[in-house]
Structure 1
């Protein structure tokens, strides 16, 4: 009877398990609980807003070489996270987004499809096999976008990249960039050329400008125009000296109506065609805009930094550091913002200083900064220097990191808020969704600071040695997206470090490092004394050792062996605490947790029986 009851119970448990599994897969699959700290398995509100805009079905094709990736644990783990996140997109879309998971096996139609999308085929193994790990998307008009390969190093921006792909499929319109500047970026001079220069080669477009024209629709706007183009997606303001009143008002209302701006200001624009303009580029045209955005710009100061100073050929001959020519390394670039996250170096000259005003209501984030060894010099003094070596006479580190580029989002005021005479019909005084990036240098746009040009079969080829062009392109792409896309930030890595283990490692090293150093010192002293005794020689070169010396040598040898054993024990102890923690975790997971769960179930069953008997 007991055996029958046991078998019936086990059968009932099995049936209940299958029923619960079917119920979960059929009805509860859309409902999930994300308990991770950074919600890496959940969609941000920006991504949800993008999915809500889908009118016609969009198909996503996730290609991952399952068999080829066997043994690549990190890639497979990341692929599982990508798949889970894509499934979240599909679930939230309620049928408007169709996800297809494809394993492109070698020489299959699926592999041909991956190649058709243009995904990266990463060679793995010694048999010429290719690993595909990318995403292709198509909308109802057969327009397509891809992520060629999911780079685990960009894990923090996984959601951003997927949402950007969807944004491009849902709203595939090209970004329109309007540019206002006095710099000769388009290759044509902004003023009549001197007749003596007519025989010289005409100025060429700057490389960053050529790249923008290849990727986006670009229109130059004169500083005396009456308004901005109506279809402007991103406005670039590159240190204009003057703006007409009508254009200034048009720019102001464009920003207040949630327009996106990439602005460059400079205390000393070295690329100006007119040297007097370079020396006096005080940003009068943009100063009032900056104040309305909640920013302060020190136009009379230039940042000097010995830590990031670039080496140049000096006018007096030889090579030396130019304290105002800065090469910002990885550590001075914000790695948590999509615009700058993948940049490694930015080169520029005569940077100014940006800061947030005390009454600023917008959210302000630092994108580029100096090192803590930076100092300041007057822009008036800088403009009169002929030899960069003399900058060392004006340099003194303040121990402060200066802000060289800022992102402004949220609430900003109109420049004409207190000027009723300029407020026309439809005037708005405040924006709550401003998207502005301000960079305190224009020289970083110049070719000589980030590209090297060479002639290749009659064609000019530009090879980048810094990420200046990437900075501009990333900013335009980011600002040209919707507010939903811009709002998506890094969500944190899926892989979490063992913080407790790291703390134990640090504590263990601090505890045993002193002992190890003492033992090493004793070992060196013992080996030195042993060598002196063994090198003692008598007359004729024969080695003469007294019984006392022989006993001392034996003692030194024994002590040497003892010290080496103690060193091995110290090194073993460095890992002992970590191993102990691992054992404790295994014990807790394998024994304690199941016992605790069993005990709780037993208590629950007792309570159930008592209730039934009552």
Structure 2
């Protein structure tokens, strides 16, 4: 074969390779090889998208042309855009995506600001935008600015905005409670201030329509999107059956039980001072809990020396504070909670034969114990730990219950009776934590009442009510890993270098301490004579000290240099692989093509 033919064949092979690359990249196929599938939409999101009836338009505003942006911001912007493209493809044409670059002083920037997108101002004075406007008909919802700290929940944030765009009315929450969460409708006594709702009620009212349900009611009102039971007591049998059927229908339930209500106990003491008798009682729904696979004993309250509330010398072992490793960070509503206070909570356990799935949200330490709930009325806090019976392991006080459950009333014969169904129930074994006195502080500032958070109690309620009150498909979306992946090999190299450095440091520090002790001894001997001067022996000790310090610094420099060289070598190898894989692949393709051609 002549040189001309060889060159022509090489050019044709290159053209074929480029055409193949173009064709493959144009196909509506996508392979996600990431460990947690961070570029793949979850089944819950796909189900939600399949239910869209009217077309939706997403205007994604991203500042692409601003040159001063850091690389991590550009990478995150690309990540959001790629995710939105997945939504558009998975919607079957129901979602149209417009990617808009709002350059400074342009109509696009004006439209972004008018829509409510709050761009971030950078050093040059320009605004950087990374938000979206989701519109369906006359309804618009915005995501003002995508927070890169919430990258793991990016899919949930997008899905939630799309879902809310399709809502025409507020979701309805049925509320059954024996606590004073809502202000009584009766007018106040003369000279008395008008009673007000607990702050959590006012907070939820901005997003939901709250429908009070009396414990004596025969059945639940129709059209409820979520049912909240807070310290439910003395419910009628027909109402319990209605709750059972409501849960089995797939509607979410927020359940706050309480083995020992501090609020109710304080109210009882006030009534006793007025000559009235009142005995606080725990709240429990034994039939429903047994059918759902939850074990709960209202006769006992948990203590935990590792998580008990401590203020100065005062410690309350039955008032538990939950932070960090005692809070589930993998579930969206609890992922950013920093501190929670539960008062005299009980233990929640998942039965071994349960058909449901239990995901703990708040757990105690392994030092947890339990005491009788009735003893709390007569026992001083400092005596509780001595009376507590150790449990021997960490236990749950809150969790999310999902999956198939059977009815608690199998003998009912109504035509619409449900014998089983998939349930979604958030359960927590305390109710006092919702009240203002245990979650916020009201401060009078210049004649205005301001609210200061004491903990994240109200955020817990608001997060889970919003989470449960949304689409059932949203509940199935879980957080995914971020695109920033750790360099495990580099971290291992750094850890090994740190061990070497620490070992050298401990050896030399021990030698330095010995040298300094000699120097101190020599100085003290001279101090007795009243005159301190540098003897040859002292100068020798000082010189030895300096030599050891110089030796230590030299050894540290060697360790750091070796570490740096190792990391640079690793980077060079990775860069070479990234650079050469395409030419090597082309060369292999050419060799195979040539052999196949010769065989013909």
Q: TM-score, normalised on structure 2?
A: 0.89
* Partners of 2:590 and 2:23 in 1: CA distance: 26
Structure 2: distance between partners of 1:296 and 1:53: 37
Who is 1:8 aligned against?
A: 8
How far has the Cα of 1:265 moved from its partner?
Answer: 0.3
**Alpha-carbon distance between aligned partners in 1 of 2:482 and 2:207, rounded to the nearest angstrom:** 31
3-state DSSP of counterpart to 1:71? coil
Q: CA deviation at 1:549?
A: 7.5
What per-residue deviation string (whole Å, max 9, x for no partner) do you get for residues 350-392 of structure 1? Answer: 111101011111111011122334332221111223x433434
Q: CA deviation at 1:566?
A: 2.8
Which residue of structure 2 aligns with residue 230 of structure 1?
A: 222
- CA–CA separation in structure 1 for the residues paired with 2:337 and 2:591: 58
The separation in 2 between residues aligned to 1:40 and 1:228, in whole angstroms, is 41
Choose which of 331, 339, 343 in structure 2 pairs with 1:337: 331
Preserved contact between residue 338 and residue 489 of structure 1 (Cα < 8 Å): yes
CA gap 1:601/1:16 in 2 versus in 1, 3 angstroms: closer
Answer with 330-339 or 452-461: which moved more.
Answer: 452-461
1:424 paired residue number: 414
1:91 is the counterpart of 2:89: yes
Give 1:578 deviation, angstroms: 4.0
Are 1:536 and 1:543, in contact at CA under 8 Å, matched by a contact in 2? Answer: no
Q: Given the alignment of the two structures, is residue 168 of structure 1 paired with residue 168 of structure 2, yes or no?
A: no
- Rounded to whole Å, the distance in 2 between the matches of 1:607 and 1:261 is 67
Match of residue 128, structure 2, among 127, 131, 139: 131
**What does residue 498 of structure 1 align with?**
487
- Residue 435 of structure 2 aligns with which residue? 446
From 351, 358, 361, the counterpart of 1:367: 361
Unpaired segments ≥5 residues, structure 2: none
1:282 aligns with 2:282: yes
Q: Are the structure 2 counterparts of residues 552 and 322 from structure 1 closer, same or farther at C-alpha, using a change threshold of 3 Å?
A: closer
Is 1:153 equivalent to 2:149 in the alignment? Answer: yes
The equivalent residue for 2:473 is 484
Matched residue SS, 1:225: coil
Aligned equivalents of 1:238, 1:540: Cα separation in 2: 79
Say yes or no: does 1:401 pair with 2:387. Answer: no
Question: For residue 71 of structure 1, what is the aligned residue in structure 2?
Answer: 69
Would the aligned equivalents of 1:268 and 1:279 in 2 still touch at CA under 8 Å?
Answer: no
1:228-307 mapped onto 2 (5 Å cutoff): 228-272=220-264, 273-274=267-268, 280-284=280-284, 286-307=285-306
Shift of 1:304: 1.9
- Distance in 2 (CA, whole Å) between partners of 1:248 and 1:160 is 33
Instruction: For 2:310 and 2:532, locate their aligned partners in 1 and report how far apart those are by CA, in whole Å.
Output: 62
Structure 1 residues 224 and 568, CA gap change in structure 2 (3 angstroms): same
Question: What does the per-residue CA deviation read over 1:163-219, in whole Å, with 9 as the maximum and x for residues that have no partner?
Answer: 111112234442110011111111229xx99x9x88654542111112122221111
SS for the counterpart of 2:333 is coil
Distance 1:210 1:24 in 2: 55
1:458, 1:541 → 2: CA distance? 70
Contact persistence 1:279–1:380 (CA under 8 A): no
What is the CA–CA distance in structure 2 between the aligned matches of 1:329 and 1:138, rounded to whole Å? 39
Contact 2:500–2:559 (CA<8 Å) still a contact in 1?
A: no
1:109-120 matched pairs, under 5 angstroms = 109-120=107-118
With over 3 angstroms needed to count, the CA separation of the structure-2 counterparts of 1:584 and 1:520, relative to structure 1, is farther
Counterpart-to-counterpart distance in 2, 1:554 and 1:434: 77
Quick one: distance in 1 between partners of 2:292 and 2:280? 23
1:582-610 CA deviation, whole Å, 9 max, x = no partner? 4443455456x568546633541342133
Rounded Cα–Cα distance in structure 2 between residues aligned with 1:24 and 1:355? 52
* Secondary structure of 1:363 counterpart: strand
* Contact 1:452–1:465 (Cα < 8 Å) also in 2: yes
Preserved contact between residue 293 and residue 362 of structure 1 (Cα < 8 Å)? yes
Is residue 415 from structure 1 mapped to residue 415 from structure 2 by the alignment? no
Compared CA separation, residues 540 and 402, structure 1 to 2 (3 A): closer
User: Which of 208, 213, 217 is equivalent to 2:209?
Assistant: 217
Task: Tell me which of 460, 469, 475 is aligned to 2:458.
Answer: 469
Cα-to-partner distance string for 1:474-509 (whole Å, 9 max, x where unaligned): 212211222212111112222211123223333443
8 Å CA contact retained: 1:405, 1:438: yes
Moved more, 153-162 or 12-21: 12-21
Q: Taking structure 1 as the reference length, what is the TM-score of the superposition? A: 0.87
State the SS of the aligned residue for 2:174: strand
User: Structure 1: 5+ residue runs without aligned partners?
Assistant: 313-317
- 1:601 maps to 2:600: no
Q: 1:24 to 1:576 in 2, by over 3 A?
A: closer
User: Do the aligned partners of residues 581 and 485 (structure 1) sit closer, same or farther apart at CA in structure 2, a change above 3 Å counting?
Assistant: same
- The Cα shift of 1:327 comes to 2.6
- Corresponding residue number in structure 2 for 1:384: 378
Check if 1:521 corresponds to 2:510.
yes
Name the CA distance, whole Å, in 2 between partners of 1:611 and 1:77: 47
1:315 maps to none
Alpha-carbon offset, residue 222 of structure 1: 0.7
Question: Aligned runs of 1:173-192 on 2, under 5 Å?
Answer: 173-188=169-184
| Structure 1 residue matching 2:318: 3-state secondary structure | strand
Cα 1:596–1:325 change in 2 (3 A) is same
**Residues 495 and 115 of structure 1: is their aligned pair in 2 closer, same or farther, counting only changes over 3 Å?**
same
1:509 corresponds in structure 2 to 498
